[in-house]
Amino acid sequence: MSTLVENISDDDLVYVASNVAIEPLIDNWYAWAHLVSPATAAMNIKNRHLNIIESYIQNPMIHAAAVKNPKMLGGPFIDYGGERVEEIKELKVHTEVACKDLLELADHLDQLNNLLENEANGYSLEPLYPKVPDSLRGLVELYYDLNNNPSYRFIEPLLYRTKYYSEELQAINLFKVRNDDSRSFILSTPSLPESDELRLNIPLKSKKIDALFKTADQPKPYGELKALFEISSEQEHLFKSLFTKKEPKRYQKYGEQGVLTRYFGHACVLVETKNTSILVDPVISYGYESDLSRYTYEDLPEKIDYVLITHNHQDHVLFETLLRIRHKVKNVIVPKSNGGGLQDPSLKLMFQKLGFESVLEIGEMETLEFADCAISGIPFLGEHSDLDVRSKICHMVQFKDNFKMIFAADSCNIEPRLYERVRDVYGKVDIVFLGMECDGAPLSWLYGPIMPTKLERDKDQTRRLAGSDFQESRALIDIFEPSTVFVYAMGMEPWLKYISSIKYTEESKPIIESNKTIAYCIEKGIDAERLFGEKIIEYKNEVMA
């Protein structure tokens, strides 16, 4: 693919173009949360990546046909047609060598599970510690739950300090995104070299990334950036294509007395007061010509006081966006994990390892007080296939005059009594952002690679990654009595196809159920809308009083 390059000299002041993507990689695969944490990375490389690679090598044309079938979107199929078999074979050999330590860790976790299954029979677990595989000794605690089921937890901060967390496996791709259809689903296809992508082997925590994307607002001499990244003559054509001498659109700071809320797509919402900016679940479109209006990186403030993360799924913790804005972010607020469970790696540790300097955890029914707002952690149920995952929270943001909004994300209101109790503590909520992606993939789609044994298909199909349906949404609305309801986090925006693989029709359950919710709200005199693309809402003091 040809790449348009401006006539730029080393002395020219340049801005990084608004459609430049940073694609984070771990061992040549798109870096999502379960590839950052060493234990989940080990299991995914062994039980997901190598299986997909081997399947493609054996039957490349089956993969080529599957990626063209809309019903197969998001499936374990490599999107390279049938032409790149030799490169995938080379990748398999590379993986087996470069990830030798992680593959060893995966094998030893299997051995640990077998040890507990066969020898943990209700008696003291102390005699089993010497039998734990040597690589795991000192990294795990063995325990029984109250029903005498044996399990283990990681001492996760130590795990990150072993050979199993290797920054040498990390890299980034830099390239321009041209349109909404330019990227295919990225979680099942490894990243092979492309002529229009610049691969840089640097750790994801590197401050060079911040220096690059600061130039979105503050230009630097091109030569200084080229020297910083040690760009070779062979790389310079691609590197130069990432920049422009044209000054970008300037963000206009909100200066009124109310609250300005802007929807950026999916679950991403920017909330601003005169003094504070809050960005929820950042997933942001790049800037390019499109018939569908949307907010982009150019519409973000120069500083973001708080980034709020609701839960650890790849469409809510998107490192591609988070690394691009890291230089703007003062604080990241994440839910607390369960403390070492394989299925629930610590988001705080993860963000710290990836170069975020101020990462705060919030637990259920905890409140963090700030200058002109308070952020409370509201319990988040469901959507995690009935696994013991604690790193999920609904964020309630309360401003002056007791004006409250809640970001419920994909919380599934399977037990309305919970939110009745929450209402007793916090009172009514003015605005509810409610996720209604109520189909959801089965447990195995996300968590299958870390499961010790494969779950039977009929059980797997009942344990889904699903948000609230109409009945559950109605109960939540009746409890909190909001004046406004926004259905969001549906994965509908076309620029999300590469991460969500979602394509709805009018017959799709999430559309039918959310239509019912909106109609119910309107019947009750509640403003309601299913968000799509972009939306701006301003609440003045007189509205908030």
CA-closest candidate to residue 480, choices 404, 377, 368: 404
218 and 267 both lie in a single domain: no
For residue 453, pLDDT beyond 90: yes
For residue 406, pLDDT beyond 90: yes
Determine the Cα–Cα distance for residues 295 and 284; give it in Å rounded to an integer: 8
451 and 501 both lie in a single domain: yes
Q: Is residue 50 part of a domain?
A: yes
Q: Which residue has the higher pLDDT, 350 or 400?
A: 350
316 and 225 both lie in a single domain: no
Q: Is residue 454 part of a domain?
A: yes
Q: Is residue 544 part of a domain?
A: no
For residue 196, pLDDT beyond 90: yes
Give the distance, in angstroms, between the CA of residue 190 and the centroid of all CA atoms in the same chain. 18
For residue 124, pLDDT beyond 90: yes
DSSP letter (8 states) at residue 146: T
223 and 272 both lie in a single domain: no
Report the pLDDT averaged over residues 4-10: 88
215 and 299 both lie in a single domain: no
C-beta of residue 328 within 8 angstroms of C-beta of residue 304: yes
Residues 6+ positions from 486 with CB-CB distance below 8 Å: 263, 431, 432, 433, 434, 528, 529, 530, 531, 535
Domain range for 486: 259-539
Could you read off the pLDDT of 507-541 as tens digits, one per residue?
999 999 999 999 999 999 999 999 999 999 999 86
159 and 26 both lie in a single domain: yes
Determine the Cα–Cα distance for residues 418 and 263; give it in Å rounded to an integer: 28
DSSP-derived 3-state class of residue 247 = coil
214 and 332 both lie in a single domain: no
Residues 6+ positions from 542 with CB-CB distance below 8 Å: none
Report the pLDDT averaged over residues 229-238: 97
Could you read off the pLDDT of 288-315 as tens digits, one per residue?
989 899 999 999 999 999 999 999 999 9
Pairing mode of beta strands 527-530, 484-488: parallel
For residue 278, pLDDT beyond 80: yes
Cα angle at 449 between 443 and 451, to 5 degrees?
A: 70
The per-residue pLDDT of the chain, averaged, comes to 95
Q: Is residue 396 part of a domain?
A: yes
Q: What is the pLDDT of residue 483?
A: 97
45 and 149 both lie in a single domain: yes
Could you read off the pLDDT of 253-271 as tens digits, one per residue?
898 889 999 999 999 999 9
Q: How confident is the model at residue 3 (pLDDT cuts 50, 70, 90)?
A: low
Determine the Cα–Cα distance for residues 375 and 362; give it in Å rounded to an integer: 9
DSSP-derived 3-state class of residue 176 = strand
62 and 162 both lie in a single domain: yes
The number of residues in the chain equals 545
> Which of 248, 278, 310 is at the close of a domain?
248
Q: Is residue 545 part of a domain?
A: no
Q: How confident is the model at residue 545 (pLDDT cuts 50, 70, 90)?
A: very low
- Kindly give the residue spans of alpha helices, DSSP state H, lying in 67-151: 85-98, 100-119
C-beta of residue 472 within 8 angstroms of C-beta of residue 462: no
Q: How many structural domains compose the chain?
A: 2
Q: What is the pLDDT of residue 417?
A: 97
Report the pLDDT averaged over residues 323-351: 97
Determine the Cα–Cα distance for residues 333 and 347; give it in Å rounded to an integer: 9
Q: What is the pLDDT of residue 543?
A: 46
> Which of 227, 248, 269 is at the close of a domain?
248
Q: What is the pLDDT of residue 542?
A: 53
Give helix 100-119 / helix 85-98 axis angle, nearest 10°: 70
Q: What is the pTM of this model?
A: 0.96
Q: Is residue 13 part of a domain?
A: yes
527 and 413 both lie in a single domain: yes
Q: What is the pLDDT of residue 71?
A: 85
Q: What is the pLDDT of residue 482?
A: 98
Q: Is residue 2 part of a domain?
A: no
C-beta of residue 333 within 8 angstroms of C-beta of residue 307: yes
Of the listed ranges 56-60, 501-505, 508-512, 518-522, the least confidently predicted one is 501-505
C-beta of residue 103 within 8 angstroms of C-beta of residue 96: yes
Give the distance, in angstroms, between the CA of residue 418 and the centroid of all CA atoms in the same chain. 26
Determine the Cα–Cα distance for residues 444 and 453; give it in Å rounded to an integer: 11
> Which of 190, 217, 248 is at the close of a domain?
248
171 and 283 both lie in a single domain: no
411 and 279 both lie in a single domain: yes
What count of other Cβ atoms lies within 10 Å of the Cβ of residue 471? 13
Q: What is the pLDDT of residue 223?
A: 97
CATH number at residue 362: 3.60.15.10
Q: Is residue 91 part of a domain?
A: yes
Residues 6+ positions from 543 with CB-CB distance below 8 Å: 258
What count of other Cβ atoms lies within 10 Å of the Cβ of residue 303? 11
